[in-house]
Amino acid sequence: MVGTVPPLPPEWKPPTKPRTIVVERPVPQSTVLMALPGIARDDPDWYAAVVMNHVLGGGGQQSRLFAEVRDKRGLAYGVSTGLRTYKRAALMVISTASANERVAEAIRVIRAELARMRTEGITQQELADAKTYLNGALALSLDSSGSVAGLLQSLQIDGLSADHVTRRTALIDAVKLEDVRRVARRLLRDEAMTTVVVGKPVGVTADP
């Protein structure tokens, strides 16, 4: 019926065991998405998660995953991580693409870096560099009326007041090393990871 409000989707239940899904396609390169249960936007650990994500894979060429997957081994052109929030769920997503013959190694390296982050956390220098970037990047991104409008819209979607922008720097600066270690142990859990590989990956086996 026209005008009927669709029902809300069911409550999302995070996975309790790892799963690998392979979607075969006749292409020379496999695309990989690895997803973990994320963190809500209003969670007290949100900015600790933002800092952790930046160091792990959200910081582009300065991130750990880029260094290990691209720079040291040449396994992929790029690799990144991101925090995604939705009304009924939150995710942390890792994405990359690699030649079919090397994608299994790329996945192993990524999982090893997740484990290292979970057990060791980040360094004081990584923490300082992440704070500097995250605080400076926002101001530099607001270079047009469209970008300002986009920021205000995202604040509204996230249920945040407009003055949150003025408090954001202090919230990021308040993040400590132990905060990042705690959120890494909380989020980077092997047993909750779903891995989807599209292509003809060599050495990657789908779970039944």
Written as tens digits, the pLDDT of the chain (208 aa) is 567 888 877 878 888 899 999 999 999 999 999 999 999 999 999 999 999 999 999 988 999 999 999 999 999 999 999 999 988 889 999 999 999 999 999 999 999 999 999 999 999 999 999 999 999 987 778 778 888 888 788 888 888 887 888 899 999 999 999 999 999 999 999 999 999 999 999 999 999 8
pLDDT of residue 154: 84
Are the C-beta atoms of 80 and 67 separated by less than 8 Å? no
Helix 177-187 vs helix 124-141: angle between axes, to the nearest 10 degrees? 90
pLDDT given for residue 208 in this prediction: 84
Question: Is residue 184 classed exposed, middle or buried when 0-12, 13-18 and 19+ CB atoms within 10 A define those classes?
Answer: buried
Closest-CA residue to 116 (of 62, 40, 64, 168): 64
Q: Give pLDDT, residue 86.
A: 86
Alpha helices by DSSP H, the chain:
46-53, 64-65, 103-120, 124-141, 145-157, 164-173, 177-187
Domain boundaries, the chain: 19-199
Q: How far apart are CA 137 and CA 131, in angstroms?
A: 10
Give domain 19-199's CATH number out of 3.30.830.10, 1.10.10.10, 3.40.50.300, 1.20.1630.10. Answer: 3.30.830.10
**What pLDDT is attached to residue 3?**
76
Residue 1 has what pLDDT?
53
| Its pTM surpasses 0.85 | yes
